[in-house]
Amino acid sequence: MKTFQLSGTERKELGKKATRELRKQNQVPCNIYGLDKNINFVVDANAVRKLIYTPEIFVVELTIDGKVHKAVLKELQFHPVSDRLLHIDFLEVTENKPVVMAVPARLDGHAEGVKAGGKLVQNLRYLKVKGLYNDIPEFLTVDVTSLNIGKAIKVKDLSYDKLELVSAAENVVATVKATRQAAAAAAAAAAAK
């Protein structure tokens, strides 16, 4: 997993009024939940853009008033109308405590159903996994080479070393759907017999 450097300052003033003032100054209030105590801090909104608006996942090295914490994103809150970033929650990670994260899923291979004229559809873009943060990869590879038309790969069909899949077992990750052209070709082949 890639590392993202971020620095912030601890905030003493809490509450709506203080938070509103911070947001007017293009600052984002944040919390880090972890081992000892929760820390309320603030970061510059422009500093987190490359962390938030990307499909990649990161371990964040947070420097808060000179002290370094390793963390992962836990939750983001956006304004319901303007879609402006309002708040970030981080979860402090350690070498020996497992963490649950949503990891991007990438389809790999050329599906048999696609060769026969079907269309490959990815239903899940992220899979939730539980494991040590050092063992969590940047993305999870899902092999679709043996997938035929009308067949699907579900979460329960997948397994990865040192990771436990937390997503619902019956969720469909990828499927090959029949296209009109493939259905017409199959009907023509059946009529010719």
- Closest Cα partner for 119 from 182, 181, 177? 177
The pLDDT tens digits along the chain (193 residues) read: 788 888 887 887 787 788 777 778 888 888 888 767 788 888 888 888 888 888 888 888 888 888 888 888 888 888 888 888 888 888 888 888 888 888 888 988 888 888 888 888 889 888 888 888 888 888 888 898 888 888 888 888 888 888 888 888 888 889 888 877 766 776 777 777 7
Which ranges of the chain does DSSP label H, i.e. alpha helix?
16-24, 49-52, 112-115, 180-192
DSSP, collapsed to helix, strand or coil, labels residue 67 as: strand
Q: 42, 73, 93 — which closes off a domain?
A: 93
Could you tell me if 118 and 65 lie in one domain?
A: no
Query: What domain range includes position 157?
Result: 100-192
Specify the number of domains making up the chain: 2
Could you tell me if 124 and 179 lie in one domain?
A: yes
Q: Rounded to whole angstroms, how far apart are CA atoms 122 and 105?
A: 9
What CATH number did the domain enclosing 48 receive? 2.40.240.10
The structure tokens listed for 81 are: 């109308």
Tell me what pLDDT residue 182 has.
66
Tell me what pLDDT residue 62 has.
83
Strand order in the sheet with 172-177: 119-122, 172-177, 152-154
CB distance 160 to 173 below 8 Å: no
Q: Rounded to whole angstroms, how far apart are CA atoms 18 and 24?
A: 10
pTM for the full predicted model? 0.75
The structure tokens listed for 138 are: 């940047």
- For the beta carbon of residue 39, count every other beta carbon within 10 angstroms: 20
Q: 35, 69, 93 — which closes off a domain?
A: 93
